[in-house]
Every structure is written in structure tokens, then in C-alpha cells.
A and B are shown apart, each in its own frame.
Chain A
């Protein structure tokens, strides 16, 4: 299995500001993913982050709002930009374990925007 650490675990932010969420994996992985879980709902994929290439965004998500970095094989960041109350969600990162065909998840970042 894998250990995936996310920081911060929770934050309360003012509208119009930005927050960067960090995701650290304890082993090297090719693919990492970022998901959003809105209150009381399921997970929606925001983007796929592969090291050495631009992130690939799903329909409804754009780079200007959710810029992603993937500087190496164990680390990624997601920034939520120009936040509004509608961005209040849990943001989760995951890493894909090739040999097991499994995604392992971090504990999530609980974001509230006032």
C-alpha cells in the first residue's frame, strides 16, 4: 500500500484568495489525481497530474481556476484560485499504483470559503 499525506487538512479562507494544497506520496508514482467532493456528494475528478507534462483537466475544470504542479514523482500541488463559497469542498489527491491497478487516497483537505 501507500502513504499519501495532504496538507493542510482543513482551512477556512476568505473569498477572492487562493489556497495551495500539497500532496506527498511515500513512493515514486507516475500518475496522481485530484478530486473534489462537494458537501454530501460523491467524488468528481478534477485533473490527472503526470510528472513531466501538463495536467489534464476534466470537463468543467480549467487550469486558471485549479492550477496543478507536479515537479517530481512523489509530490503534487493543487491551487484553488480566486475562491468563492461554491469552492467549499473536500479536495482529495490520489496516486495510482501500477502493479496493483489501485488508486490510494490522501485524507483530504476540508476547505471552507467565507
Chain B
């Protein structure tokens, strides 16, 4: 079975500062990796995904993530955050051909002016 660990439950950050959200996973088989964002009182929106190929993936709203197979990590980064980035961020894994998502516990990002 696969599992996902998000290493930070809460990340306060000042506007225009960089942010990194850490995600580690464990799986005995190859996986697909995802980051979703949940804005207050909304559903989940896909930020980016890693399926194969280049280990650096770019997503929406200026976010990017790097897949590191040796460290089984998929950390999310943004060089300069905005107030509107305040949200809950979820890392998720999907076993190839299984289609189900397993989610991490989530990281709450609060951006302050």
C-alpha cells in the first residue's frame, strides 16, 4: 500500500516571499504524484501532476514541483506568494492503473501582508 506524508501542517509566510511545501511518499510500485489546492469553502483544484518524464513540473498559478525518486519526495514551491495563495494544499499519489488517490494530511498556507 502507498502512503503520503506532508511534513508541515501549517506554513505561515509573508506576501512575496517564497514557499516550499514538503511531501514524501512510500510505495513499492511506481506512482503518479499530484498537488491539489483547496481554497476556503471550495472543492479541490489540481495544481500540477507528475506522471513521467522531466522531474520538474510546472503548474498553474506559478507553482512548480520536483519529483525526486531516490528521496521519494515531491516538494511544491512558489518563488513569490500572494495573499490569494492562502489555502489548504494536498499532496496525493496514485498507483499506476489503480486510479485511486491517497492524500496526505494537508498543509495550511497562510499568507500575510
Would you list which residues of chain A between 63 and 114 have a CB under 8 Å from chain B?
92, 94, 96, 101-108, 110
Assess A42 versus B90: contact at CB under 8 Å? Given A92-B43, A105-B43, A106-B43: yes
Bound together, the chains give a CA A103 to CA B41 distance in angstroms of 19
- Please, which residue of chain A has its CB at the minimum distance from the CB of B44? A105
B32, B42, B43, B44: the one within 8 Å of A101 (CB): B32
Q: Is the CB of B49 within 8 A of A102?
A: yes
The size class of the interface chain A forms with chain B is 20 to 34
Q: Is the CB of B103 within 8 A of A43?
A: yes
Q: Beta-carbon contacts of A38-66 to B below 8 Å, as 1s and 0s?
A: 00011111001000000000000000000
Indicate the member of A92, A96, A103, A104 with the most B CB atoms within 10 Å.
A103
Assess A43 versus B90: contact at CB under 8 Å? Given A31-B99, A92-B44, A105-B44: yes
Q: Is the CB of A101 within 8 A of B94?
A: yes
Bound together, the chains give a CA A31 to CA B90 distance in angstroms of 21
A-B contacts, CB under 8 A, total: 48
Q: Give the residues in chain B near A102, CB-CB below 8 Å.
A: 34, 46, 49
| Nearest CB on B from A55, distance (A) | 13
The size class of the interface chain B forms with chain A is 20 to 34
Assess A107 versus B42: contact at CB under 8 Å? Given A96-B99, A101-B32: yes
Q: Is the CB of B106 within 8 A of A103?
A: no
| Nearest CB on B from A47, distance (A) | 10
Q: Is the CB of A33 within 8 A of B32?
A: no
Bound together, the chains give a CA A6 to CA B42 distance in angstroms of 12
Bound together, the chains give a CA A110 to CA B43 distance in angstroms of 10
Q: Give the residues in chain A near B43, CB-CB below 8 Å.
A: 4, 6, 92, 105-108
Q: Is the CB of A42 within 8 A of B104?
A: yes
| Nearest CB on A from B28, distance (A) | 19
B49, B99, B103: the one within 8 Å of A42 (CB): B103
Q: Give the residues in chain A near B49, CB-CB below 8 Å.
A: 101-102
Q: Beta-carbon contacts of A3-46 to B below 8 Å, as 1s and 0s?
A: 01010000000000000000000000001010000000111110
Chain A residues with a Cβ under 8 A of chain B: 4, 6, 31, 33, 41-45, 48, 92, 94, 96, 101-108, 110
